[in-house]
Amino acid sequence: MPKRAQPDSEPVLDRSSAAGVAPPSPKRTKVADPDTPTDQELTNAESSNDAAASTSTAPAGKKQKKKKSVAKTTDTNTIPIHRGKFKLRYLQKHAFLIRRADPAVGLLVSCSPATETRAIGQLRSFADAWLPKLFPGAHAVYPDLAPANDIDLQYVADADDDDDKKTKKPRPVPVDKGDKTALFQMADTGSAGLLFLRFRNSVAPSDFVLRLFDYLAASPDKKQVQESDLSFCHRFLPMSHVASAATQTDIVDTFGPLLSKVDTVGLDANDAPATNGRKRSVAIYVEARNAPAINRQSLTIALGEHLPNTMCGNLKTPDVVILVSVFKSVAGMSIVLGHDYRRLHKFNIQKL
């Protein structure tokens, strides 16, 4: 039989609606608001703002100048020299401080890091000007060192031919190294923020520091010295004995015998080591810079074993203070009275 055609007007039933299931809603597309900026537009706006801020401070067509350092723009009365130049021309080698034939004594001066060149200029100018004021009879002292090798001139070849072939530029003669009339010399400490003013005169470093601080404490020139003449310098530690600091044993072997008579420091010959029925107190202060092989606590204990039995330890108000400072491969020591150490603010010239 032929199939019967359905009429066009017959409605088509939706089975999902007949079964009680809602038909799927048509997918809606999100329409962007023209007033809301996109993420890309926000990124572009931030970059343009940063560029405008950087160019707004500098005038158009000109590069922005860098700010000069305070040390270069202010009048600090110092020598404007660089590290490489003054290390070769104005500083003695670090190893010269531990020569046995020429023992070094002087002042260990601390300063802020990166200001060593300025502090050296201030320190040398100040020391050369004030030593004759405080000690009018001071004069230069240099040991008579024998030559290391005796050379027979008959075995030395004539160098005239070599001089004709090559003409060398004459090097500038350094004043500090060759002048035997200089009262002071600067030595390389090998540590940042630390200077060593070597004494080449007849004055002891501890006497110079005590007289200088006492004079400045009662002088109207104290503010001028602190703010201008020595504005980059801080502590002035006298170093009366110097030894090699390769190992702790080297330091103890050199400084240990010097501590056997520390109980008589500051006393007259007729005074007894124990005054008023009590033992004198002592304190050992050890500082180490650029010396990783030295343990401060261990060195303090080792030096304390060489103290006389007539003394006792006191770190707050000692009668005698032993200052030990280790910098790179050199160790310096000084023995001062505790009263002077406290009233002079640990020899800090900026705190007078």
Burial of 182 (0-12, 13-18, 19+ CB in 10 A): middle
2-23 per-position pLDDT tens digit: 555 555 555 544 544 444 555 5
Neighbouring residues of 325: CB distance < 8 A, sequence distance ≥ 6: 108, 237, 239, 286, 287, 288, 289, 331, 332, 333
Q: What's residue 144's pLDDT?
A: 77
Helix, strand and coil percent figures for the chain, each rounded to 5: 35, 20, 45
Give a yes or no: residue 78 inside a domain: no
The average pLDDT across 194-215 equals 95
Q: What's residue 317's pLDDT?
A: 93
Torsion from C-alpha of 88, 89, 90, 92, nearest 10 degrees = 50
Long-range contact list for 263-269, CB < 8 A, 24+ apart?
A: 263/308, 263/310, 263/311, 263/320, 265/320, 265/335, 265/337, 266/319, 266/320, 266/337
Give a yes or no: residue 69 inside a domain: no
Q: What's residue 100's pLDDT?
A: 79
- Across 27-41, 93-107, 191-205, 264-278, the highest mean pLDDT is recorded for 191-205
pLDDT at residue 288 tops 90: yes
Report the number of distinct structural domains present in the chain. Answer: 1
Give a yes or no: residue 16 inside a domain: no
CA–CA dist 350, 352 (Å, integer): 6
Bigger pLDDT: 98 vs 273: 98
Of all helices (H) and strands (E), which one includes residue 236? strand 233-239
Q: Report DSSP letters for 281-342, one per residue.
A: EEEEEEEEES-TT--HHHHHHHHHTTS-TTEEE-SSS-SEEEEEEEETTEEEEEEEEHHHHH
Give a yes or no: residue 13 inside a domain: no
List strands edge to edge, sheet with 194-199. 184-187, 194-199, 106-111, 233-239
Q: What is the mean pLDDT of the chain?
A: 77
Give the model's confidence band at 117: pLDDT under 50 very low, under 70 low, under 90 confident, else very high.
Answer: confident
pLDDT at residue 208 tops 90: yes
Q: What CATH number has the domain bearing residue 105?
A: 3.30.2130.30
Give a yes or no: residue 240 inside a domain: yes
Check the CA dihedral 301-303-308-313 and report its sign.
negative
Domain span holding position 342: 88-156+181-266+279-347
CA within 13 Å, CB half, 53: 6
For 196, phi then psi, to 5°, come to: -125, 115
Give a yes or no: residue 44 inside a domain: no
Determine how many CB atoms are found less than 10 A away from the CB of residue 41.
10
Sequence letter at residue 293:
A
CA–CA dist 227, 209 (Å, integer): 19
The average pLDDT across 213-237 equals 93
279 with 310: CB under 8 angstroms? yes
pLDDT at residue 320 tops 50: yes
Buried b (16+ CB within 10 A) or exposed e, 253-276: ebbeebbeebbbbbeeeeeebeee
136-147 per-position pLDDT tens digit: 999 999 887 655
What is this structure's pTM? 0.68
The pLDDT > 90 percentage for the chain reads 47
Largest CA distance in the chain: 153
Bigger pLDDT: 225 vs 173: 225
Determine how many CB atoms are found less than 10 A away from the CB of residue 215.
14
Q: What's residue 175's pLDDT?
A: 43
The average pLDDT across 41-48 equals 55
pLDDT at residue 176 tops 70: no
Q: How many residues does the chain have?
A: 352
CA–CA dist 288, 27 (Å, integer): 78
Q: What's residue 73's pLDDT?
A: 45
Give the model's confidence band at 265: pLDDT under 50 very low, under 70 low, under 90 confident, else very high.
Answer: confident
Give the model's confidence band at 184: pLDDT under 50 very low, under 70 low, under 90 confident, else very high.
Answer: very high
Neighbouring residues of 209: CB distance < 8 A, sequence distance ≥ 6: 107, 236, 238, 347
Give a yes or no: residue 17 inside a domain: no
Q: What's residue 88's pLDDT?
A: 65
pLDDT at residue 119 tops 60: yes
Q: What's residue 47's pLDDT?
A: 54
The average pLDDT across 315-343 equals 94
Token readout for 140 is: 């230069």
Q: What's residue 33's pLDDT?
A: 53
Q: What's residue 229's pLDDT?
A: 93
Which residues are 333's β-sheet partners?
A: 241, 324
CA–CA dist 296, 302 (Å, integer): 10
Give a yes or no: residue 34 inside a domain: no
